[in-house]
């Protein structure tokens, strides 16, 4: 049996990872989260599994575990600007930095492999396109997004220092825009925003003129590469880009959502434009050559199919929430 600890386990990516890893009967899962942006509802379907245990804990504080840990996936951190900016900025930096330190210490103690979920935000407003792992980025260290961007950059530094100084077996992935079931409908991310607004018959909100680009990776594809990276030999540390290299403008995404959801609710949806937030990157596209060469991996689910799956999820979720509110 293998004991796997996952931080951020009730969040969007963490809960999907839990569900996938629990399918292997040789895996025991210890799920850790403070439920700030996650919810226990995301792991409800596996909560009664005897190989699954949930611990409510904030990894800003050290974590004491009696079991011998074999692998750690460090996914804990608010990942949307709505959740990490403003009054949560210092909390976000602490989660990135102190959380990484605490998980690295736990890995060191257990001689466990540890994977860090870093982010495309380490590249900032990129001057290189598409972004390759060797690019060092163009980040504003004093901007309103710096708590997340620089927090993640510092976490990467800590991981490699623990590897060099103490021999900790590390893996670092850089996650680009990911979407799919179990996203928070109120997290402020563009895919969930557009879909939920459209399903409610509201105008879709575009910040800026909509010419900024994003590359959208469906959650199942991301989970596949995360697991592949963790399973790799100790000679591979990363960092490695994980994302879909197909690039779309935000305006193109809005048009696709309007087309798909308009057929569902029959409403004439339109777009409204608002000011672009400060330091919001204008281009995002991963170069995934490394992931292709080392892991024979590339995304299989393209945006058209992934949006259908995600719209179906949100449609059911919003209908259930409406039913609950009506019965109350």
Residue 286: beta bridge partners? Answer: 131
Calpha distance 29→75 (Å, rounded): 14
Q: What is the 3-state secondary structure (H, E, C) of 190-256?
A: HHHHHHHHHHCCCCEEEECCCCCEEECEEHHHHHHHHHHHHHCCCCCCCCEEECCCCEEEHHHHHHH
> Which residues have a catalytic role annotated?
148
Q: C-alpha dihedral over 312, 77, 225, 103, to 10 degrees? A: -140
Closest-CA residue to 99 (of 151, 177, 160): 151
Residue 259 corresponds to which tokens in the numbers above? 């087309």
Residue 119: beta bridge partners? Answer: 175
Closest-CA residue to 40 (of 32, 29, 50): 32
How would you classify residue 161: left for phi > 0, otherwise alpha for psi between -120 and 50, otherwise beta?
alpha
Residue 142 corresponds to which tokens in the numbers above? 């004093």
Let me know if 262 is exposed, middle or buried by CB neighbors in 10 A (0-12, 13-18, 19+): middle
Residue 129 corresponds to which tokens in the numbers above? 């396109």
H helices present in the chain, as ranges: 12-21, 81-84, 89-110, 146-166, 190-199, 219-231, 250-265, 289-295, 303-327
Calpha distance 190→122 (Å, rounded): 19
SS3 of residue 301 by DSSP = coil
Closest-CA residue to 173 (of 108, 243, 104, 221): 243
């Amino acid at each position: 049996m293998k004991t796997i600890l996952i931080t951020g386990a009730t969040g969007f990516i963490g809960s999907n990872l839990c569900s996938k890893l629990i399918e292997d009967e040789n895996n025991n899962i210890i799920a850790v989260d403070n439920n700030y942006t996650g919810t226990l509802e995301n792991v409800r379907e596996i909560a009664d599994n005897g190989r699954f245990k949930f611990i409510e804990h904030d990894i800003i504080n050290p974590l004491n575990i009696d079991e011998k840990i074999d692998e750690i996936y460090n996914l804990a951190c608010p990942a949307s600007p709505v959740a990490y900016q403003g009054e949560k900025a210092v909390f976000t930096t602490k989660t990135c930095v102190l959380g990484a330190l605490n998980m690295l210490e736990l890995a060191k103690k257990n001689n466990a492999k540890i994977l860090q979920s870093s982010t495309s935000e380490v590249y900032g407003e990129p001057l290189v396109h598409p972004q390759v792992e060797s690019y060092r980025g163009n980040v504003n260290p004093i901007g309103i997004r710096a708590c997340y961007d620089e927090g993640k950059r510092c976490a990467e530094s800590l991981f490699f220092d623990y590897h060099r100084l103490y021999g900790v077996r590390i893996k670092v992935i850089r996650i680009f825009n990911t979407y799919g079931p179990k996203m928070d409908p109120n997290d402020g991310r563009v895919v969930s925003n557009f879909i939920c607004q459209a399903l409610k018959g509201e105008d879709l909100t575009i910040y800026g003129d909509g010419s900024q680009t994003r590359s959208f990776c469906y959650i199942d594809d991301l989970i596949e590469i995360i697991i592949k990276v963790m399973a790799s030999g100790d000679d591979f540390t990363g960092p490695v880009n994980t994302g879909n290299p197909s690039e779309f403008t935000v305006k193109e995404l809005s048009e696709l959502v309007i087309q798909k959801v308009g057929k569902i609710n029959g409403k004439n949806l339109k777009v409204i434009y608002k000011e672009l937030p400060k330091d919001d990157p204008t281009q995002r596209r991963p170069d995934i050559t490394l992931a292709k060469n080392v892991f024979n991996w590339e995304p299989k689910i393209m945006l058209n199919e992934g949006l259908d799956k995600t719209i179906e999820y949100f449609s059911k979720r919003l209908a259930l929430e409406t039913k609950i509110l009506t019965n109350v």
